[in-house]
Amino acid sequence: MSVDESFATKAIHAGQDPLQWSHWEVVPPIVTSTTFRQDGPGVTRGYDYGRSGNPTRNVLETCLASLENAKYALTFSSGLGATTVITSLLNAGDHIISGDDIYGGTNRFFQKCLCRQSNTITFVDMSDISNIISNIKSNTKMIWLETPTNPLLKVIDIQAVAQAAKQKNPETIIVVDNTFLTSYFQKPLNLGADIVHYSVTKYVNGHSDVIMGAIVTNRNDLWERLAFLQNAMGIVPSPIDCFLVNRSIKTLEIRMRQHMENGLAVAQFLESHPCVEKKPLNLGADIVHYSVTKYVNGHSDVIMGAIVTNRNDLWERLAFLQNAMGIVPSPIDCFLVNRGIKTLEIRMRQHMENGLAVARFLESHPCVEKVFHPYLPSHPHHEIALKQASGHSGMVTFYLKGDSNKFLNGLKVFTVAESLGGYESLAELPSVMTHASVPEEDKKKLGINDQLIRLSVGLESKQDLLADLDQALKAELYRNLALFSLSYSCARLYNNTPIITKDVPIADKPVTGLLNSKTESQIKDALFAVLTTL
């Protein structure tokens, strides 16, 4: 099964629209309120009581559903909490078939808790589908499987199990515990599963600091029953845990790819790992300064700075000033940054890969005057960059031919906002945003004009980033360069005449056949094809 090419983009943007918050926060806030004011008795704005629904939890559930290409997701206080809710769909006397090689906690719950509720369970080796078929009874209402299994890593054919079970008893609910692979590597709903179960504690969160479970489904009837049970049984996660997991899944794709790479060849990975890195202190610097807010934290939810030095005399003076001036970060911010740096290496490699792809794309685009990226050979300091750094980040700057405001407003994946280094891609106009306070004369000398755009390329899927820039640049080309009037120029093109704008000759070559359809979108695409050859 091929991977979801837009997985990273959905992880970063699904359910995260800033417009849903009163202050348009790019990062969804933590809403800890247990109750919500009503416009009138029974008249709510979507929420009434924290157990029944919470904005921070809703954001996470929306995002989890999107990653599975599913309609619904629900989160719970633990993976076993999710298991408890799923099995609460059963009636007394219902029969379950479970894999014999499953998580020990699930096995314990089935044998010590569920059996006491008058449910019967048969454990079978699901790698042989005949074991499942032969054990399906008239009262078999659920099949529970993990694949790969835990701990023997047997691979179970989800589609074959689902088809066989449904053929024998259409009412059987197929539950797949997808904890080991996550939705990045495997989407059980596409293979016939009715419910996907996660211990979010594991790979989905991936930072060993949250206990949570989740359920994903496409079936409206199951979702309604499960959502009722989530509320009625009160097995809900805390807002802070939802915030942390929503934060973690922004890097789920690159973490899972790295887990896979490391798991396949740990020894080879270690042999090829760069042992010597190019760092400013090694190149003669006395102090290295960081805005930890940016790439080091990388999740756009902490404001912090840091200083690094090898000199004891400087450290003693700086440590004294840190204390004397009281410029210290909060413990929760330290916790979040310590958490963020666990994925710093893989984030930076992906930022660089995406950023370089964007820079190369922009450099070849007719709407772009000039691109600045140290790893482009065209950069005036390219050789120095190669010599003193082992890579670049996701920062790209370029001069646009056209209206910068309209281009920025046309972006859909990139968010128009200041700052940089987060998982989300940002675009800004330095002249009126980050560098607005720079005197006009200085901005003119530096070249910071209204055509200069700065991008912080995030961790979304590469093709989605390029497609977003492409559509915004194309719109800018049609709108602002105005090389053609659709009515006037198209008539010229059909008649095999030179392409002429209002008063400037653009090209003197026949282009018959490039426009052979009359829909506006097709005409625009054809015009774009002509323009890119001029």
For helices 220-233 and 79-87, what crossing angle results, to 10°? Answer: 120
Residue 27 phi, psi (nearest 5): -100, 120
What is d(CA 254, CA 268) in angstroms, rounded to the nearest whole number?
19
Q: Among the listed ranges 1-10, 169-178, 363-372, which one has the minimum average pLDDT value?
A: 1-10
Clarify whether residues 237 and 317 are in a common domain: no
Clarify whether residues 206 and 79 are in a common domain: yes
Clarify whether residues 128 and 246 are in a common domain: yes
∠ CA 18-20-21, rounded to 5°: 75
Single residue among 429, 445, 471 that ends a domain in this structure? 471
What is d(CA 360, CA 358) in angstroms, rounded to the nearest whole number?
6
Domain presence at residue 492 = no
> Which pair of tokens denotes residue 415?
């968010």
Clarify whether residues 239 and 317 are in a common domain: no
DSSP annotation of 275: S
Structural contact between residues 482 and 503, judged by C-beta atoms closer than 8 angstroms: no
Clarify whether residues 336 and 349 are in a common domain: no
Clarify whether residues 332 and 352 are in a common domain: no
∠ CA 369-372-378, rounded to 5°: 85
Dihedral sign for Cα atoms in the order 373, 379, 382, 385:
negative
Between the alpha carbon of residue 66 and those of residues 69, 255, 260, 385, the distances in Å are: 5, 18, 22, 39
Structural contact between residues 420 and 294, judged by C-beta atoms closer than 8 angstroms: yes
Residue 486 has pLDDT above 60, yes or no: no
pLDDT digits (tens, 9 = 90+) for 29-47: 999 988 898 888 888 899 9
Query: Structural domain tally of the chain?
Result: 3
Q: Look at residue 260 in the predicted model and tell me its pLDDT.
A: 80
**Dihedral of the alpha carbons of 473, 479, 483, 487, in degrees to the nearest 10:** 130
Domain presence at residue 530 = no
| CB-CB neighbours of 219 under 10 Å | 16
pLDDT digits (tens, 9 = 90+) for 313-361: 998 998 888 877 777 788 888 888 888 888 888 899 999 999 999 999 9
Q: Look at residue 425 in the predicted model and tell me its pLDDT.
A: 94
Pairing of strands 395-400, 452-456: antiparallel
Clarify whether residues 111 and 198 are in a common domain: yes
The percent of residues in the chain predicted with pLDDT above 70, rounded, is 86
* Full DSSP string of 50-89: TTT--HHHHHHHHHHHHHTT-SEEEEESSHHHHHHHHHTT
Q: Among the listed ranges 108-112, 120-124, 382-386, which one has the minimum average pLDDT value?
A: 382-386
Domain that holds residue 245: 6-255
Clarify whether residues 320 and 379 are in a common domain: no
Residue 442 sits in a domain of what CATH number?
3.90.1150.10
Q: Which residue has the tokens 């054990």?
A: 135
Single residue among 471, 500, 527 that ends a domain in this structure? 471
For 95, the 3-state DSSP assignment is: strand
| CB-CB neighbours of 247 under 10 Å | 23
Single residue among 205, 234, 255 that ends a domain in this structure? 255
Pairing of strands 395-400, 368-372: antiparallel
pLDDT digits (tens, 9 = 90+) for 231-269: 999 999 999 999 999 999 999 998 988 888 777 654 444
Predicted TM-score (pTM) of the model is: 0.77
